[in-house]
């Protein structure tokens, strides 16, 4: 197995063996959960963290991340051509009010992502490269009712030893369906930022306040724990100027990122019947 597959199985096994069962007040589904889970993965040393224990839709997380970097919030604006993953969270105007990229680039009155790039170009030693998605005026605490609030709610970028490291903070992670795509997407963002800043991708870190498995995914989680393979590490190769082309919503960019990944990707079969819990 790849190192990321082994990390994933260790986390999933710990949840099933040590986690606490709890009924969600939002939808009456049961979860098994553990607080405060964390992992770190060195992309340069161990390869790109793309799960091979089941098939992950590569085009989905690639297109999603480009959509984020572009800073837009309508799925019809670029994203829907590649995936409909955000369609469940649109309002009647076809707007995702909590679209991550929009919040990174426009929502708070400043372009956080653009300023991060500018700031680290000026001072690579800075520890101030923080991007926030969570809006305390609107999100959580029994406030505005909406279909979705940010799960990965802030990340920090550091350049240490000539390598770009990204630490992602997540309030809640569905470990069967959400987690693998979240990791791949934010690791892709890390690599894109590293290319833009002329450095090498380093350690991707991921910290979860509530790591859980939903009741309709228990059997799928057990199946994932029983699986094994001999997959080689995956190496991400980005086309030139990926960040700038993502800002322009260059549709050709999706396939140019997906094809080199897919050529290395030989996952085990998908698990039928898995459904997201809203």
Instruction: List the catalytic residues.
Output: 151
Residue 212 has, within 13 A of its CA and on its CB side, a CA count of 23
**Distance of alpha carbon 100 from alpha carbon 116, whole angstroms:** 15
Region class of 249: left (phi > 0), else alpha (psi between -120 and 50), else beta: left
In this structure, are residues 230 and 1 in contact, taking their beta carbons and an 8 Å threshold? yes
User: Which phi and psi angles does 202 have, rounded to 5°?
Assistant: -115, -120
Residue 80 has, within 13 A of its CA and on its CB side, a CA count of 13
Q: Which residues contact 65 (CB under 8 A, 6 or more apart)?
A: 185, 186, 188, 189, 192, 246
| Token pair 């991060």 in the structure block, residue | 116
CB atoms within 10 A of CB 199: 18
């Amino acid at each position: 197995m790849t190192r990321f597959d082994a990390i994933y199985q260790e986390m999933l096994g710990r949840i099933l063996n040590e986690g606490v069962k709890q009924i969600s007040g939002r939808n009456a589904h049961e979860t098994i959960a553990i607080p405060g889970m964390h992992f770190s993965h060195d992309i340069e040393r161990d390869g790109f963290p793309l799960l091979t224990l089941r098939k992950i839709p590569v085009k989905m997380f690639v297109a999603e991340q480009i959509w984020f970097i572009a800073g837009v919030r309508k799925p019809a604006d670029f994203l829907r051509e590649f995936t409909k993953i955000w369609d469940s969270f649109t309002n009647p105007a076809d707007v995702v009010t909590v679209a991550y990229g929009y919040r990174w680039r426009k929502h708070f009155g400043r372009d956080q992502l653009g300023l991060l790039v500018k700031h680290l170009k000026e001072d690579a030693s800075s520890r101030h490269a923080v991007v926030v998605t969570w809006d305390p005026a609107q999100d959580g605490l029994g406030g505005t009712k909406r279909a979705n609030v940010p799960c990965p709610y802030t990340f920090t970028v550091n350049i240490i030893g000539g390598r770009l490291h990204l630490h992602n903070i997540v309030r809640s992670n569905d470990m069967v369906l959400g987690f693998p795509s979240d990791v791949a997407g934010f690791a892709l963002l890390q690599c894109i930022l590293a290319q833009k800043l002329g450095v090498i991708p380093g350690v991707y870190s991921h910290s979860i306040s509530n790591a859980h498995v939903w009741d309709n995914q228990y059997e799928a989680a057990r199946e994932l724990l029983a699986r094994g393979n001999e997959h080689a590490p995956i190496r991400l190769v980005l086309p030139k100027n990926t960040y700038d082309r993502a800002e322009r919503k260059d549709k050709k960019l999706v396939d140019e990122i997906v094809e080199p990944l897919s050529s290395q990707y030989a996952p085990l079969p998908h698990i039928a019947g898995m459904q997201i819990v809203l």
